[in-house]
Amino acid sequence: MSFKFSSAHSSRIKKPTKPPAFKRNSSSASPYSSLPRRKPLQRTSTKPEKADDEDEDVFGDRLDDFGLVKALATDLTLRDVAQAISHIRDKMWSRIPEQRAGMNSTRIAEVLNFRASLPPIVTVSHVQALLNSPTTVEREIAELIRGGAIRKVVVGGRGSLGEALILVRDLDNIVERSALEQEVKEKFIALLHEYPTALKLPRSQLSEDDAKMLMHAGFLTSSTSAWTATDVFSRPGDGSRGTATSLNSISKAASGSLAAVGGEGAVHAAGGSGGGTRLPSTGDYSLALPTTGPFLKLLANARAHLLSLLGKSKYQEAPESLLRQRWDGGIETDDAASTARRIRGEFAGVLPGRTRKWNQFYGITFEWILEECAGAGLLELFDTGSIGRGVRAL
């Protein structure tokens, strides 16, 4: 037995099995790579996560009610209906931000073109919301219509949403800027001034050709028109007085073509689906305005959205300031605090172009849609006594 003993046999220090050339470069290695790995802790959340567009309702109790707000107008210069119409038109749209708008030039052009395409009309309920007495407003509207200062346009099937007012000078400007012939423009304007209170125009006052051009331009509608759009593709023959398809033209058409089956819109031309060419009727023409449909659709969607924002509160009521923030979408502000947070790289609010106010509603102001809903009887405003006015859904 040998008594020689070396520490190399008992030491646990081992030589590296790989040469130094195969070692990882220390500059590229992470300083935390040598630490032991552990599985991440599984933490259970006690509260469900909310969506980004849902904010917490900080008002758990009902707001104090010290009485309803009767008149929403804050401008004391509004004394008559004509001034109220001009005031409503002027404050409908928000100004496009000059900086950090969140919209490129193409989107800004779309917003401006859409605004310019809408007719300068206001709803009757909006005017009544601004002024004090609805009865006085109705009487004044009737007097101004008889005097030729404003005109009422009614869209069927829309209820109170379809009753709109427009200044006569604005209506004349729309007709002058249209693509109608100058002679037709003069006849139509003279006819409107001759019947200032009429919602419908007599058929005997317009020739068939003039009525066609006015219908194409969107100034007239008629449910019993003697002319339909199918006349562009086919004309009735001598032997077919009640249909817009001619057997003579069908027999001459090539086999397998669209004309061999009556042409485009043959079912409607033959009287199907409520359409077709009818014999000359005695019904009157209804007065209309171009692009009224997009205006009413935008208004209906904006009303529904504001009520949905108010529905996030527990009792369907919220302070006006909170409801304004929800409508604007938490956008950036120009105050010093937001500027400082933006310089530090912190969140200071979303860009206006990313909010629903600008994406879907083209920048409708909060005051305008609030007055619209209040005039339509969808909500009411009341004085809280401490935090300003409150808004309650009805």
Query: Which pLDDT value is given to residue 184?
Result: 93
Question: Can you give the pLDDT at residue 276?
Answer: 41
Q: Is the pLDDT of residue 104 over 70?
A: yes
pLDDT classification of 223: cutoffs 50, 70, 90:
low
Pull the structure tokens for residue 266.
């043959």
- The span from the CA of 305 to the CA of 315, in Å, is 17
Mean of the per-residue pLDDT values of the chain: 76
Distance of alpha carbon 113 from alpha carbon 210, whole angstroms: 28
Q: What pLDDT, on the 0 to 100 scale, is given for residue 240?
A: 40
Give CA–CA dist 193/188, Å, rounded: 9
Take residue 240 and report the two structure tokens written for it: 């077919």
- The answer to whether the beta carbons of residues 218 and 259 sit under 8 Å apart is no
Q: What is the pLDDT of residue 282?
A: 53
pLDDT tier, 341 (very low <50, low <70, confident <90, very high otherwise):
low
Residue-level pLDDT at 289:
93
Please tell me the distance from the alpha carbon of residue 186 to that of residue 184, in angstroms, as a whole number: 5
**Digit-coded pLDDT (tens) for 187-205:** 999 999 999 999 998 888 8
129 or 12: which leads in pLDDT: 129
> CATH 1.10.10 in the chain, residues?
293-393
The pLDDT, as a whole number, for residue 70 is 67
pLDDT in tens, 160-184: 688 899 999 999 999 999 999 999 9
- DSSP assignment of 38-53 equals -PPP----SSPPPPTT
CA 288, 161, 312 angle in degrees (round to 5)? 145
Cα dist from 102 to 137, 302, 365, whole Å:
41, 21, 17
CATH for 293-393 is 1.10.10
Angle between helices 366-375 and 292-310 (to 10 degrees): 90
Angle 61-66-71 (CA atoms, 0-180°, nearest 5)?
120
Section 328-351 average pLDDT: 66
